Structure formats: C-alpha cells, structure tokens
Structure 1
Amino acid sequence: MLQRNDLADGLNEPKLAANLVADGNESLLKFTPGDQGRLEKLMSKYKQLLIETPINPFREENLQEIVKNVDYGVLSMLEGTWVSYNDNHGNLVGSGIHTTIMPSPGTNAGTIPGKYSFECEEYIEKLTFNLVPGGVRNRGGANEQFCGAVKYDQSIKSVNRVPGNSSLEYTPIHEENGMYLWLSQIFNYAATKKTIEEDRGIHAVAADDPNRHLYKSGYQDETLFLVINDKGVKEYVTLENLNGREYYNIKAAKELKPGAGQTGTYFIPDYSISRSGVIPHGSTVTLLGDLKPDGNNFLVIGAPAFPSGDEAWKYDHLSISQTMGGAGASEDDPINLDAPPPAWVFEKLDHKNDPQENRIYTQRILAHHLYPYSVRPDLRLRDNNKGKVIKNHVRIDLSSKNKIGAQGGILNVPFVNRFVPTVEMNMRMWIETVEENGIEILQLQYEQIIFFEFDFGDNGGTTSWPHIQVNTLRKIDDVSPEQRSLIEKQFPSSSIITSSASASECPYHKS
C-alpha cells in the first residue's frame, strides 16, 4: 500500500491532497523542460507503507478535518470525462478493440465439445470519473481507514462498416458502473473510558464473584491466570502480578481497559486500489491491486513497454488460450504477430496438414481483418503510441484472483453461472503524460481480460475463453473538435452518462 508522505505529520500540515485534486481539474498544464509535471509532482509525494511507518491516533474531534483531508492518490488524475482518442487526422473510427468468445448457438454445456462463436470489433467509449467528496470511513475496531472513493460510468459502442454504405454504424454494446477506492490514511483507534462506557454490553462483576477484588473497575476487564502461590494454594492473579510464574488456566477478560488496541495488530494491506463494478447481465466484480513499480520507482520514465515480433506471443494477453489449442504454436515456437499471418491461415486445412485440429479451431481468429489485434488486442495500444512523446506514466494492475495475498472475486446470477460463468478478471491501466506542442496532456490506456469457462475439450478438460477489451482515451477537452462532436452525438451529455445500451448486445455474456 502507498501512503502520502505528509499524512504522518499531523493534521496541521498543508492539505496536499486537496491541492493535487484541484490541479487534476486542469486538463492542460504548460511546462518548460525540467519542470515537474502533474503526474511526477503527485507521485513524488508517496512512499510504501511499512510496519515501522508512523500511524496517527484517531480522535473523534478530528473527524471532520480527516474527512476534508481525504486522499485519492493517483486516482485523482482520473477525475473528469474521458473519451476514445486516435490521431487519425481529426476523424475517429474506433480506438478500442474487443474480442469476445461465446457459446455457439444450439450448444449446451456437456454436448458438443468447445464449439464457440467469435467476434472482434472496434469501438468508441465514454468513461466518466467523479470524486466522492469526503473520506469513506471503514471502521475495524482498533484500526480505522479512510478511503478516497471515485465513481465511474462507462458506455461503449461498437463501430462497423456497412457494406454498400459509406457511413459507419455505431451499436451500443456495453454499460457498466462502479467505484474505485484508494486506500488512504490508517489510524489507530484505541479504547477510551468514553468509548468503553458507551459501548458496554455486560453486567458489572457479581457481588459473590470470588475474584471481584481483582477487577478494579467493577467490570471483568482483566485476564486472570491460575497459579499456585507461596503457600501452595491455587489462586487467580492478573497479568501484572503473574511475574513469570507457571500458570494452569486462563480466565479471559470480557471488557476492555482504556488504551486497549494501542499495541496492534496494525492493518497493512498488500494493495492500494480496489475496483467494484456491476455489469447488467448479472456479474459483479471486485478487483484488488496496486501500482506496478519499475524497480523502486512507481513513476516510470517514458512510454509503456509493449512487446513486438515473436515476443508478443504470450498467452496471458492473447484471445487464444492454451486450452483452445494455442493455434498449434507455443511461447517457445511462437507466431510473429508483426508479420503477416502464417500461410496455413488462408489454406484449406484437413487431417493431413492439421492432425490435432489446433489450427482450424482458431483459424478464423488469425484470419480476421483486424489481425493482429484480433489475436493480441493490446498491440493496438502500442501502435497508438507510435510517434508520440510520452514523458512518463504510472501503471495500475488489478485482479480478481491474485496469486498471493488479498483476493477480489466475481459473483454471477444463476443463468450466467450455468452457461457462461465468469471466473477471473485482470486489468492493466496506464496513466500517461504526453507532450504535445509545448503542453502536457494526460492519456489513459487500459487492457481488461475476462475469462469465461464453458463447454469442454475433447479430453474432457475445462476450456478457458478470454474476452479482451483495450482502448486509448483522453479528456474530452483534449481531443479534436471532430472527435468531440462525434462523442457528444453518440453519447449525449458530456458530464452525466445515461444508459443507452441494449443489454442483449453487450460483449459480456452475449447469448
């Protein structure tokens, strides 16, 4: 977890978070070489939270000041309306790419092994982030945490060319809303005389309790230890009087004493960001994650790194999973995605040239007119960045199923859970500083991969079906007038998103 450097210095320090959020409302910032840009300035204020990092005590009289000082971290850079962007001379076709695999019509789980339909389309998008005023207070007894909450609304329309028609067709395919949380300041909230009395739910020690004299407050707020005293008689003593003696049983306390909780345990999460989203087909997702450092630096100099050539054939980012046969290739014997598709993609395949049926199974994906993006969509992000001067960036990695540590999760309604269960979701998001014509512009890119499981392989094994979305976006004030006009026409209202999508057309769980 990351924490702002000044948070442990008390509440009278300058309100850096408020200043940074105010800076984030400006879409452009003039700069001169050597100046700190907005992203660099923000990230210089953060460090990793460790067990030895000072933690402030929580006091109720400071509650309003704490709420006013809520921190949104790097999420403060997201505030506003983001829209699809490309530099296609003012015209916007489709900056995003989605690949979607669904059960083939007529199939049912457990009948025809692995028969699927495949779609790959370009799309445009409007994505709005709104900071929730004040901190979200999470109470955990001795631990208190205040989170910076950011609501998001997402609308997507596919872009297709209609044969015989020069105009483009825009079709609503996805709506989603939810909330990001930035884990902000952690406090230690120890018990006080006031909180103990207000929250008391037990009787005073009974008058005939033989150990009544050990409870000075009149309530059972001491842990007692049974020992044998110097006279050889069994008796209970408090921890204060145990003095290292051997004891034979323990009678636990039922009430707190002032100061309880001061010595921990302290909550140090292994993530800084959570995302909870609702998809109208019946899936609710929670992702957990953090900023991805480059060595010890969370602000990475230059553009995001994407592979090319043979190195791009990595199944974690392909629309073809290994359980789908991997197109007859492997990471050791890859297909070069920066070269034309292999010759077999355009050949008639049979049992002689494709004995395992791995090629014919995925042939249409490699033969798609959007190749290589139909195979590895995030190469569109790489290619969109060519020719741009990207000064620096931060990368956020989120997942519903982390390899270790804290876990998110996915809930599906019964229909989805039965026919197209969503089992895992991973996301990479880059916030980038782009230099253009003497100004800095923020750019947002993301790759989102959802894994479905349905049908089965010839050998009875479970098949994993990737559904991938990628896009490049900029603030609506930072795109060309032509692109802005198109977005405003396709997504009415630049500040409030209203649902315009037909639920049956969403790439998620289309059936």
Structure 2
Amino acid sequence: MRTTTEQLEALRGRFRTVEQAVPGDEDLGPFKLLPGTWSNEPDLAGRGWNMIALPFGPPQGATFRPPYRLLMNQYNEKLTFSLVDKAVPNRGIAPAAAGLTPNADQLLVALDYEQGIKQIVSDDFPSTSLTGAPDTAIHHEPGLFLSMTDPLDEDVVDIARLATIPHGDSVLGLGVATVSDGPPTITGINALPLGVNQDVDANPYLQPYKHFRDAPFRGLFNPVDSTALLKAANEGVDIVRTTRLEFDSTVATGGISNIPFIVRQANASEMKSTFWIQEVRNADGGIDLRLQYAQVVQLDFFDRFDGGPGRIKWPHVSINTLAKVEDPPAPGPGGYDVMPS
C-alpha cells in the first residue's frame, strides 16, 4: 500500500512533529483507523487465545513424559495506539548518475502502541502448579508501527513493527499493507513443532498436543486448528472492508534479538503476525471497527529428530478478536500537544 504523491508532499512540506494520533488522519496511511483503544471487554470478552510449549523437567520417578509442557491461555487484552511521530527523516542518496548524487531521503510515520494482556483461565499438560491465577498479567508490550513512505524501488516492504518484550526480546517485523472489500481470508496455522514426526497419534513425544486435540482447551481451542476461532468470530458479521497488515521478522532485514538466557533455553527466532482491521456494518447501518490478529513466534529448543539444522521449532500461537472501544483524547488538556508546537 504505497504512499500517494499527495501524502508524501504533505509530509515533505513540514517539520517533524510528535502529536496525539487522530483516527482518520491520512498521514497515517494504512494505520489511519488504529488510533484509540481496542479491547475484548465488554462485548468480546474471552476472545483471546494463546498456546506455548515450554521446557519442563518432569518430577523424578514420573512415568514417561516429554521434557516440555504445553500451556494454554484464554485472555482479555487492551491494545492502545496513542502518539504519532510524523515526518521522521532517514537520510540517504541515490545511486550516482552522470556524476550526480541526489538526495533520496525516506520519511517515516511512526504510530506507537501499548499492549496489555491478562489471562482469564489457563491449563497445561502435563498438569503443573505453574499456570497462574485468573486475572494474572501475562504480557506487556510497548512498540511502534511504521509506515515507510517513499521507499526505494528495490524495497519490497512498506510497513514495519518494532516490539519490545519484557522477557528480553526485541523484534523487527517487516511487511506490506493491503486493503480489500469484504471479510479477510484467514488461513490455518500449523501449530505442531517442526523437526519431529507430526503424527500426534503415533508419536508419544507429542502427547501434550494429542491431549488438547482430543480435549480442546475450554472445549474450543484446538492446537491442530488454531485459527478456527478467528474464522468462527466472522460468521454472520457484515465486514465491509478489511485492511491487512503483515509483519514478518524473516523478511529483508527483519529479525529478533534476545538476552543470553532466552537464546540458550528457548530462543525466539522468528515472528510472523497478521492484523486485520475490519470495518463492520452494524444493525443501524453505521460502521463499527474490529481488529483481529494471528501471531506465531517460533521458539527453538531441544535437538531435532529429523536430522535438520538447528533445534526443534515450537510455534507460540496467539489469536484474538477485539473491538474499537475508545478514540484517543483530544489534544490539549488531558491529551497531548504537538511537539514542537
């Protein structure tokens, strides 16, 4: 979703500013519907689902268990987009032509976000006392969405996501934004580990996955079909238009940096996430906003069984369906003035 000439010229004609983000601001490009607060509560409570495999040593003398546990969470989330940093300059020059080196600066628009997640209920297999109590905070993430205006021709990406995770991870995901009429097309996600025989019936190493396949978490969340609940949430919903944001840490110069403990024990090696911003026609004929996402972070630990390079990749899957519940406060008292004014 390339920046239009008009948008680019408007950014070039001003100095850099940091200000309260406003819904509908064309300077935000594909992010123009995001400013404000998105939440599961009150109308979409419990639509967040998460699964993660974690290294786990079974008690001494226990019957055979693989050396990991599979943890499942149902959660509520609040995701807030508040400040925008406009006309952020990246300086550069174009390849020399006829002895000239013209400037080829890039301008960014950065929309900040803060994500907070608390679990409603959790379960794991094998069963432990480590799952945490209801209403426990299980995730906090400040970050930025970047709209990269005027990219050079060879660039194949126009958006980016910068995420910082308190476990000790820093993520750069790159991708593209697209807009289409109607609902999104949501594909399945293989949530089984890569580097092992994935036959859950024949491979005892996958016993935790078989457990939750045969008895889905809360009767709903199945690790073998982990996006089914996203698709179900769209049934009977009149989705008029969808903006799709794709972020992938394996594209171009993306990547993840982790603290040493994470690298040794369960290295977060890849992140892929897709956000679907949905314009939904309500019963009165007006438009409401919803946001869905599916995210997979690969955690690498234990030697592979298939002879492939590296370690087993364990997909850490998160999905959610949220509603826009609040716009940002107006600039000024109680809001955020332009900096510089």
TM-score norm. by structure 2 comes to: 0.77
C-alpha contact (below 8 Å) 2:38/2:325 kept by paired residues: yes
Q: What corresponds to 1:474 in structure 2?
A: 323
Question: Which of 157, 163, 166 in structure 2 is aligned with 1:280?
Answer: 166
The one-character-per-residue Cα deviations of 1:26-59 (angstroms, maximum 9, x if unpaired) are xxxxxxxxxxxxxxxx7xxxxxxxxxxxxxxxxx
What displacement does 1:372 show?
Answer: 5.3
What displacement does 1:144 show?
Answer: 0.8
Q: What corresponds to 2:267 in structure 1?
A: 421
What displacement does 1:179 show?
Answer: 0.9
C-alpha contact (below 8 Å) 1:128/1:154 kept by paired residues: yes
Alignment gaps of 5+ in structure 1: 14-20, 26-41, 43-70, 163-167, 187-265, 292-297, 329-343, 345-353, 479-493, 497-511
C-alpha contact (below 8 Å) 1:397/1:428 kept by paired residues: yes
Letter of the aligned partner of 2:295 in structure 1? Q
Letter of the aligned partner of 1:276 in structure 2? L
The one-character-per-residue Cα deviations of 1:220-276 (angstroms, maximum 9, x if unpaired) are xxxxxxxxxxxxxxxxxxxxxxxxxxxxxxxxxxxxxxxxxxxxxx55521110111
What displacement does 1:22 show?
Answer: 4.9
1:319 maps to 2:199: no
Q: What corresponds to 2:221 in structure 1?
A: 373
Within 1, Cα distance between the matches of 2:161 and 2:12?
Answer: 31
Q: What corresponds to 1:447 in structure 2?
A: 294
What displacement does 1:97 show?
Answer: 0.2
C-alpha contact (below 8 Å) 2:118/2:137 kept by paired residues: yes
Question: Which of 110, 114, 120 in structure 2 is aligned with 1:159?
Answer: 120
What displacement does 1:409 show?
Answer: 0.6
Q: What corresponds to 1:507 in structure 2?
A: none
What displacement does 1:438 show?
Answer: 1.7
Matches within 5 A, 1:59-458: 71-84=27-40, 87=43, 92=45, 94-105=46-57, 115-141=67-93, 142-160=103-121, 169-185=134-150, 268-291=154-177, 298-306=178-186, 312=188, 317-328=189-200, 354=202, 356-357=203-204, 360=207, 362-366=209-213, 367-370=215-218, 373-375=221-223, 376-402=225-251, 406-436=252-282, 437-458=284-305
C-alpha contact (below 8 Å) 1:113/1:455 kept by paired residues: no
Within 2, Cα distance between the matches of 1:290 and 1:381?
Answer: 21
Q: What corresponds to 1:6 in structure 2?
A: 6
Q: 1:8 to 1:400 in 2, by over 3 A?
A: closer
C-alpha contact (below 8 Å) 2:281/2:287 kept by paired residues: yes
What displacement does 1:169 show?
Answer: 2.5
What displacement does 1:421 show?
Answer: 0.6
Letter of the aligned partner of 1:417 in structure 2? V
What displacement does 1:11 show?
Answer: 8.1
Within 1, Cα distance between the matches of 2:92 and 2:108?
Answer: 13
What displacement does 1:392 show?
Answer: 1.4
C-alpha contact (below 8 Å) 2:2/2:158 kept by paired residues: yes
What displacement does 1:459 show?
Answer: 5.7
The one-character-per-residue Cα deviations of 1:264-314 (angstroms, maximum 9, x if unpaired) are xx55521110111110111100000002xxxxxx4222111235xxxx5xx
What displacement does 1:87 show?
Answer: 4.8
Within 1, Cα distance between the matches of 2:170 and 2:118?
Answer: 21
C-alpha contact (below 8 Å) 2:271/2:296 kept by paired residues: yes
Alignment gaps of 5+ in structure 2: 14-20, 94-102, 124-132, 328-333, 337-341
1 or 2, which has the higher helix percentage? 1
Q: 1:304 to 1:474 in 2, by over 3 A?
A: same
Within 2, Cα distance between the matches of 1:83 and 1:408?
Answer: 28
Deviates more, 1:444-453 or 1:123-132: 123-132
Secondary structure, aligned partner of 2:229: helix
Paired-residue identity, %: 29
What displacement does 1:161 show?
Answer: 8.1
Secondary structure, aligned partner of 2:134: strand
Within 1, Cα distance between the matches of 2:301 and 2:228?
Answer: 27
Secondary structure, aligned partner of 2:199: helix
Within 2, Cα distance between the matches of 1:130 and 1:185?
Answer: 24
Within 2, Cα distance between the matches of 1:22 and 1:176?
Answer: 22
Aligned length: 296
Within 2, Cα distance between the matches of 1:23 and 1:160?
Answer: 34
The one-character-per-residue Cα deviations of 1:156-179 (angstroms, maximum 9, x if unpaired) are 0010289xxxxx921110111111
Within 2, Cα distance between the matches of 1:362 and 1:7?
Answer: 49
Q: 1:115 to 1:157 in 2, by over 3 A?
A: same
Q: CA RMSD in A?
A: 3.2
What displacement does 1:78 show?
Answer: 0.7
What displacement does 1:130 show?
Answer: 1.9
Secondary structure, aligned partner of 1:281: coil
C-alpha contact (below 8 Å) 2:143/2:161 kept by paired residues: yes
C-alpha contact (below 8 Å) 1:147/1:183 kept by paired residues: yes
